[in-house]
Amino acid sequence: MKAHWIKVFLRLALSMAFLSAVADRFGFWPEEISTWGNMEAFLAYTGSMVPWAPESLVPFMGWSATILEVIFAILLILGFKTKLTAQLSGVLLLVFGLSMVFSFGLKAPLDYSVFSAAAAAFGLSLIKEPFLEIDQLTGKK
């Protein structure tokens, strides 16, 4: 398989994972397969992952993560500033995974493949050849 197809697959896989998580927070997935089901439940989960943070900061953190996931998903689908977006996606996922480790133990991020997704994002940032990307039109990576 050629690297450019792997790059497309990584872009789409990461994007769909981000969008699926966001869809869950807004209740778009059926209740029986949802993790949170609504934003209120997600914000409560966010609070449990950052027990050191003031309670007043938790909504900002939860909404910031959600907004970043939507932005990163769109940019990855479009292939705009792919290298930077992939690196930032990897950092976001790594922070999420480490927060899970410190709050719930190592099993939680392993069960949800958070570190695998972070590694995929960082790996994506290393594939230089643009393919089916807006970056090809702008000359930016």
pLDDT digits (tens, 9 = 90+) for 114-140: 999 999 999 999 999 888 899 888 765
SS3 content of the chain, % helix, strand, coil (to 5): 75, 0, 25
pLDDT digits (tens, 9 = 90+) for 53-105: 999 999 999 999 999 999 999 999 999 999 999 999 999 999 999 999 999 99
Domain that holds residue 115: 3-138
Please, what is the end-to-end C-alpha distance for the chain in angstroms? 22
132/13 Cα distance (integer angstroms):
15
pLDDT of the residue at 136: 85
pLDDT of the residue at 114: 98
The torsion angles phi and psi of 112, rounded to 5 degrees, stand at: -95, 5
Please choose, from the candidates 42, 99, 84, 87, the residue with its C-alpha nearest in 3D space to the C-alpha of residue 67.
42
Contact 79, 121 (CB under 8 A): no
Q: With bands split at pLDDT 50, 70 and 90, how would you rate the model's confidence at 1?
A: confident
Domain count, the chain: 1
pLDDT digits (tens, 9 = 90+) for 17-66: 999 999 999 999 999 999 999 999 999 999 999 999 999 999 999 999 99
pLDDT digits (tens, 9 = 90+) for 2-11: 998 999 999 9
